[in-house]
Structure 1
Amino acid sequence: MEVNDLHKADIRFVDTASTTENAVKVKAVYGAEEDTTFELPSDTADALKNLFEVHSDDFKNGTVAGTSLPVVTLSNNDRLTVVSLGSEKNSKGNKSAATKLAATLARLASAHKAATIIVEAPEEFTNDKDAMKAFTTGLYGALYTDNRYRFGDNAKDPFSNLSTIEFVSTSSSASSAVELGTMLETGASLTRDLVNSPPNVLNPLSMASVAKKIAAESGGCMKAKIMDARECESMGMGAYLGVARGSETEPQFIHLTYTPPNKSNIKRKLAVVGKGLTFDAGGYNIKLAMMELMKFDMGGSGATLGAAKAISQLKPENVEIHFIIASCENMINEKAMRPGDILTASNGKTIEVLNTDAEGRLTLADALVYADKTVNADKIIDLATLTGACMVALGDGVAGVWSSDDDLASALVDSASSESGDKTWRMPLEASYNDQLKSKIADMTNLGGKYGGAITAALFLKNFVDKKKPYAHIDIAGPVWDNKKGGATGFGAKLVSEWLLAENDDAGK
């Protein structure tokens, strides 16, 4: 499967701005500071001063970060614009401002077909590692363009001219933050590519080939194991294979293992499980709406592979990481599972299928058992576009997190979410709702009642991980897709990567 290269506009830190044609110059300021160290002809300086006076009410101290004044054209035909960094001169404020600055620069690059953007910003901003990491991920995310399925005049890249972002700063510490941000965004970009891919291109077989490619390009730190239906059957994965029965495409159970360069450093074993439905027609409970978007039902596996790509470059030293995906399609044929069927998962639990469109949790069930029993991971998380109920509760911008482990929940919601910018919210695991999953003829059903569907889905999944083991379920059904832009967001890849890096740091203490 074809993937896009990350649009790597070179982010540099220089003592003196270069002299180049087709450049946009940006003065990034806190509040409404009016000074600029760009050497300007007197007429342009006067015009800039007048600009501040005219817009003083709109561009006052405390203005929203990312707000910009109209562009001033310099006598050499370069353009100058002033962009606000907001009023918070601290790490939190800088990080938020950096993301908005990146979006503003992408807009300027597109509008002016700029090859170079020269940015002068306060030292407390350019020296802030968190800000520069956020700027890098924000910029490359904003520059993402997918032309894989457009040809001729339809294949347009509004950022094709942009090659360089120059920060006029001597900061050396920020260079490492840019490198880190680039690796993280490489993973998020792969996630976007996967989720954007049509289902006749991305199926379980091609997803497995992407996993193999990640391993092949990892420099030996990643190994890929792919199991077919026969191997999964020998392991008793009846829930997963029940979903896969209706498709002509063979299911592929994907297991990527990251091992640090020095195996003796391994202090912790972690597992990331991603829902891998490359297309979900709903089965016999066929979907009646939005079926054309069900290519994004593999958003959890897309995030999992994106995180694997980032980790293969970041190479954390103290953790072994397992990336697990039970990939298949949920289709309809004479072999497909039916409402009323009883499936047996690999831990021996039987499941009465009340609705064939509640299929993701069935595939995750066997993947979680594998992560728990076969891999014997110390901590497990899963990501899944699992329920519309989560979207009803949290909208399309926030993922829900369910966990019985307070430390793990905090690590995801308070730390990894904040670091990555992928928004999450901890949701309740109401034990009394387990009654909704009771079956009269099997151990459980795959569907709860009318209300609290995201909670009963999380409760269902808990049955397939040891109760004593830290485990979290993350429902990304809402933020995986941007309806306004009509494309994938890359959600989850950076969230997972940041969690894994924090676990690595904690294990190394």
Structure 2
Amino acid sequence: MSTEEMNSQTFPTWTFDKACPSMEWTPLSAVSVTLTANVTADQLSSTDLVILPVESSPSGSEDKEPSSALELKTLATQMDSAVTAGALSEVLQEHAKALAKRGGTSPAVRVIVGGGKTQKYMLLAVGSADDDLKGAGWALGKAIAASCIAEKKLGTVTVVLPETYATHETVMTDVVTAVYQSLYADNRFRSKKKPVAEDLTAITFASEGSICDASVVVETGKMLAQGVIMAKDIINAPHNVLNSESLAETAKRIAAESKDGTMTCTILDKTECEKRGMGAYLGVARGSETEPQFIHMTYKPVDGNVRRKVALVGKGLLFDTGGYNIKTQMMELMKFDCGGSAAVLGAARSISQLCPAGVEVHFIVAACENMINDKAYVPSDILTASNGLTIEVMNTDAEGRLTLADALVYADKEVQAEKIVEFSTLTGACMISLGKQIAGVWTDSDDLAAELDAASKATGDKTWRMPMAHEYAEQLESPFADLKNLGTRFGGSITAALFLTNFVEKGKPFGHVDCAGPIWEDGKGATGWGSKLIVEWVKQQGQA
């Protein structure tokens, strides 16, 4: 095979002298999603897999045996009698424990129908109609997608949902989003592709009664899923593909493809950053393979009506070796140190298509790598941030907060955002406190904390408010500079948050979200955490 032929079959990467200029995007699954009202048993006869709902008894029935608290509804009962010869009822009894929890599924029942074709039937636990439906869509959508992936050679799937769910626009949007994001497969770097549900062409969500507006639900769900997939793509990409320059190219492309030109993108190069005195960010970037790229994307509503201006800042370390305080473990995972920027740019992609009203949004990423070379910063260096504060470098592996310092000053002073929320994979200490599924939130603003909590609960991107123990700030005092970039090992996630508060005007609503845990799942890769949460929070700001 010639070199030219080999190059045509591989993903673009760096050459010896030049870094990779762009990152390939994973497209949304081509599966068609439709919504159908007033479905009948006859309409289900032609689909490969039928997923039927199992409802729980209302709250207060906890003392019942699991199977007695579950019931098949009208259409499921008809299909059980006319098609599966009671097999669905048997499955309900045998797998009652799994079906007692929303999102639980049963094994498939196989039935031979006309022409010798095999049709499959499966049960899906939807919970009780009396339950709070918040988060229901995510659980159901993930379960449906998992079933489509597990059951091989499916072309068409019909999912019957109770009318209570089918007429709830938020629930159905969440279902569609979860399905599309769960059908994601990162095949960008494989010579032999491993697609998921490769035979699947269509999923129909059906209701025995009414159903909500399909065009709104499906299009919104797709746009939200695209943001999650973008976040996954950014984190999953290896460093020889994704560097500060290819991340900047990704941001430019998001803006260029925005609906009605509502998003713009400006990239500040090293010279522009020097003019602004971004010594903390540029200090880290001195060791980078590629030139630093300070990304600033702006979304403005097409009608020009802005009630609030907000900034979202994402940590954009494309690879973190630790610098001269080199990491001794987990370095192979350090491509995920751009997890904050992934959440922010993923949200930017969704927002650029959803076009929320009433809010101007600034997306800011100070992109670079934390590497080692003859120019790289070293412990004991003193860096000057763009607000004039000097910082003694105690450890080069506490670099994220240095890049964020100048990004926050920019959001505060140059953008003049009314609220600032920053996302970063900042500390292992947060993972020790909250585990790998929950992000920590630090803020002095009770209102902002409540807003982020509401967005978390609405989207399933879990967060937990942590204490802003200002008495710990003394750990950051330096005998030579205004601040140190690291405190003691105790309360490390708190002192990291306190460090960042020095770069936002006192009293301005500012939130720090440490997402080191939930952005990555061992053995699977990026989760896409944070993109949906940010979109939900932005929508809140436009409505307030």
- Fold agreement, TM-score > 0.5: yes
> Counterparts in 2 of 1:86-105, with a 5 A limit?
86-90=127-131, 92=132, 94-105=133-144
Query: Residue 55 of structure 1: CA displacement?
Result: 4.5
Pick from 18, 31, 34: which aligns with 1:12? 34
Query: Residue 204 of structure 1: CA displacement?
Result: 0.3
2:513 corresponds in structure 1 to 474
2:15 corresponds in structure 1 to none
C-alpha change, 1:295 and 1:62, in structure 2 (3 Å) is closer
Pairing 1:315–2:355 present: yes
1:447 corresponds in structure 2 to 486
Pick from 270, 279, 286: which aligns with 1:238? 279
Q: 8 Å contact 1:44–1:72 — kept in the other structure?
A: no
1:300 corresponds in structure 2 to 340
> Counterparts in 2 of 1:47-446, with a 5 A limit?
47-48=86-87, 51-53=88-90, 55-56=92-93, 58-59=95-96, 63-76=100-113, 77-90=118-131, 92=132, 94-110=133-149, 111-152=151-192, 155-169=193-207, 170-173=210-213, 175-218=215-258, 219-263=260-304, 265-413=305-453, 415-446=454-485
C-alpha distance in structure 2 between counterparts of 1:69 and 1:213, whole Å? 43
More deviation, 289-298/107-116: 107-116
C-alpha distance in structure 1 between counterparts of 2:389 and 2:347, whole Å? 31
Q: Deviations over 1:27-50 (max 9, x none)?
A: 1120322345266596744232xx
C-alpha change, 1:268 and 1:41, in structure 2 (3 Å) is closer
Letter in 2 for 1:222: M
Pick from 48, 51, 76: which aligns with 1:26? 51
Q: 8 Å contact 1:283–1:332 — kept in the other structure?
A: yes
The percentage of counterpart residues that share the same residue type is: 50
C-alpha change, 1:22 and 1:174, in structure 2 (3 Å) is closer
More deviation, 160-169/246-255: 160-169
RMSD value, Cα: 1.9
Q: Deviations over 1:377-432 (max 9, x none)?
A: 0000000000000000000100000001110011002x110111100000001011
Query: Residue 262 of structure 1: CA displacement?
Result: 1.6
Letter in 1 for 2:144: L
SS for the counterpart of 1:323 is strand
Q: Deviations over 1:151-205 (max 9, x none)?
A: 12xx111212222211223413465233322211111110000010001100000
C-alpha distance in structure 2 between counterparts of 1:125 and 1:357, whole Å? 48
TM-score after normalising by structure 2: 0.88
Letter in 1 for 2:51: V
Gaps (5+ residues) in structure 2? Answer: 1-22, 57-69
List structure 1 segments (4+ residues) > 4 angstroms apart after TM superposition: 17-22, 38-43
2:13 corresponds in structure 1 to none
Letter in 2 for 1:318: G
C-alpha change, 1:480 and 1:474, in structure 2 (3 Å) is same
Query: Residue 53 of structure 1: CA displacement?
Result: 4.1
SS for the counterpart of 1:372 is helix
Query: Residue 149 of structure 1: CA displacement?
Result: 0.4
TM-score after normalising by structure 1: 0.94
SS for the counterpart of 1:46 is coil
C-alpha distance in structure 2 between counterparts of 1:41 and 1:433, whole Å? 63
SS for the counterpart of 2:412 is helix
Gaps (5+ residues) in structure 1? Answer: none
Query: Residue 268 of structure 1: CA displacement?
Result: 1.1
Q: Deviations over 1:432-462 (max 9, x none)?
A: 1000000001000000112000000000000
Q: 8 Å contact 1:95–1:134 — kept in the other structure?
A: no
Q: 8 Å contact 1:65–1:85 — kept in the other structure?
A: yes
Letter in 2 for 1:164: A
Q: Deviations over 1:461-486 (max 9, x none)?
A: 0000001210000000000100142x
Letter in 1 for 2:103: G
C-alpha distance in structure 1 between counterparts of 2:528 and 2:203, whole Å? 23
